[in-house]
Structure 1
Amino acid sequence: MPELSVLAWLLLAIAALLVGLSKTALPGSNTISVAIFAALLPAKESTGALLVLLIVGDAFAVWSYRRHASWPVLRRLVPTVLAGLVLGALFLAVASDAEVRRVIGVILLAVIALTLARRHLTRHRQEQPETKARQHLQSGIYGTLGGFTTMVANAAGPVMSMYFLASRFSVKTFLGTAAWFYCVVNLVKVPFSVSLGLITGQTLLINAVLLPAVVAGALAGRALVAKMNQSLFDRLVVLLTIGGAIYLLI
């Protein structure tokens, strides 16, 4: 078990609580968890420890919203996300921590700008059904970026939040689609993470201590969603995504 102060453990517990909350109510808020873990643990340990907690949160999210996923969207994402995961693993092997953070930050800001511009252009006119070519192009861009960012920094949340937001999902469809997406992607990342030395016996001990906080956050998120309307949900997603991008840049 790493030697950490009481304050450090308290901050890690808050980060774990936010992991659970992000999975069942506030997508993107786990960027704060990424920041806390990276500040308190060595880079490799922080990534591996957080991945296991994210998988626990995924299990609660799937249990809560398993009937609300958009399966056509998920099927379109599979090949591009896998490509992004491979690119991310290759990038991790050659890039420094600073380079990783800056690249992801720039990607997130570009995705936010693209998504908000698209929504603004369609707000005051009748939106036409998307063609299959456009759907595949959009899923290709977001899927590749999502796979890349999740592999290098557990930071796919903001990218995929913008994709699901652009798809104009309802709150529960958004959360259900995200739940299945992250559940599968994070499980696929486990062998990569083990082979890269990101998941170790020490990170699993940290997970054992922080697991109750993830569960508490997930249950609190389920209660919060029942009181949240669509407009508030969309705004929170955008704000949390912008915050995550700025954090990665600075």
Structure 2
Amino acid sequence: MITDPFFYFVAVPAVFLVGLSKGGLGGAMAVIAVPLIALAIPPVQAAAIMLPILIVMDLVSLWAWRHHNDRRTLTIMIPGAIIGIAIGWFTAAWVTETLIKLIVGIVALAFSLQYFWKTFNDRRKDEKTPPRGHRPIWGAICGTLSGFTSFVSHAGGPPYQLYTLPLGQDPKTYTGASVRFFAIVNAIKVIPYFALGEFDATNLKTAAVLAPIAPLATIIGALIVRRMKPTVFYPVMYVMVLLTSFKLIHDGIVG
């Protein structure tokens, strides 16, 4: 088990922020976890420690949002996510984490800026952009990107949101589908992480020490989302995507 006090100084708030995100508050806080913990330990080890904690959070999220879901979203995106995880597994020795962060960050930045530009124009014209329907091919592409980036650095949120946010779903439906999607993705990731030797005794013991923080933070995040109106929820989510893009682009350029 890791005993360095500085590690826990950065890891405890990182886990708490991820728990809020897992409760339904979006991907920006989740993306920052691995880079924050990586201030004290190597990024690959940070990702390995976070995966069991993410699974604990997924279990709490599944219970909290058990009555809300969109099966169509999962049907479209999960097959692509499995392909993306497989690609990440087989290319782990060649693809750098920083390159993936840079690409995803640029896509997320363009996506969020497009939303704010449309919102500005709609308000100026006193109009509202209608929600888009499901687009299976685009959903499969975003699912593949989400599975791949989730495997590389637990940063699957932006590609997932790239497809799902324009659907304009009720916040509870959106959150219920997203927690199911990432619960499935994280469960599948366990197999290649084991195969790559990332789950040693040190990492698993450290994850066990941090895991009790996960349920409390996840429940708090879920309670906040349940009380948010769609007119508040979606701007907040897009701001989260924007913040995520800044962090990913920064990490990609620095790397």
The answer on 1:21 being equivalent to 2:20 is yes
SS at 1:94's partner residue? coil
> Which residue identity lines up with residue 176 of structure 1 in the other structure?
G
Determine the structure 2 residue equivalent to 1:219. Answer: 219
Structure 2 CA distance for partners of 1:186 and 1:167, relative to 1, 3 Å: same
1:151 aligns to 2:155 (yes or no) = no
For 1:85-234, list aligned pairs within 5 A.
85-113=85-113, 124=127, 127=130, 130=133, 135-234=135-234
Contact 1:111 1:159 (8 Å CA) reproduced = no
User: How many Å apart are 1:60 and its aligned residue?
Assistant: 0.9
> Any idea what SS the aligned residue of 1:92 has?
coil
Q: What secondary structure, in the 3-state scheme, does the structure 1 residue paired with 2:177 have? A: helix
Match of 2:9 in 1: 10
Q: What TM-score does the superposition give when structure 1 sets the normalisation length?
A: 0.88
Q: Percent of aligned positions with the same letter in both sequences?
A: 26
Distance 2:30 2:77 in 1: 22
Deviation string, structure 1 residues 129-164 (Cα, Å, up to 9, x no partner): 74xxx6112212211111111111110112213322
What amino acid is aligned across from residue 228 of structure 1 in structure 2?
M
Identify the residue that residue 36 of structure 2 maps to in structure 1. 36
Residues 167 and 119 (structure 1), Cα distance of their counterparts in 2 relative to 1, 3 Å cut: farther
Number of the residue aligned with 1:68: 68
| Structure 1 unaligned blocks of 5 or more | none
2: distance between equivalents of 1:48 and 1:119? 39
Aligned residues: 246
Structure 2 unmatched runs, 5+: 251-255
Q: Which moved more, 1:82-91 or 1:46-55?
A: 82-91
2:249 maps to a residue whose letter is L
Specify the SS of the correspondent of 1:40.
Answer: coil
Q: Is the 8 A contact 1:21 1:220 kept in 2?
A: yes
Partners of 1:198 and 1:224 lie apart in 2 by 34
Q: Contact between 1:24 and 1:221, CA under 8 Å: does it hold in 2? A: yes
TM-score (norm 2): 0.86
Q: In the superposition, relative to structure 1, how do residues 93 and 126 fare at CA in structure 2: closer, same or farther (>3 Å)?
A: closer
- In 1, distance between residues paired with 2:70 and 2:184? 14
Deviates more, 1:200-209 or 1:106-115: 106-115
Deviates more, 1:76-85 or 1:175-184: 76-85
Is this contact kept in 2: 1:83–1:144, CA < 8 A? yes
Q: Which moved more, 1:183-192 or 1:233-242?
A: 233-242
193-202 or 166-175, which deviates more: 193-202
Shift of 1:111: 4.0
Give, in angstroms, the shift of residue 107 of structure 1. 3.4
- For the residue of structure 2 that corresponds to 1:25, the secondary structure is helix
State the Cα distance separating 1:103 from its structure 2 match.
2.8
Matched-pair contact (CA < 8 Å) for 2:78–2:181: no
Code of the residue aligned with 1:197 in structure 2: it is: G
Structure 1 contact 45–198 (Cα < 8 Å) conserved: yes
Contact 2:34–2:43 under 8 Å retained in 1:
no
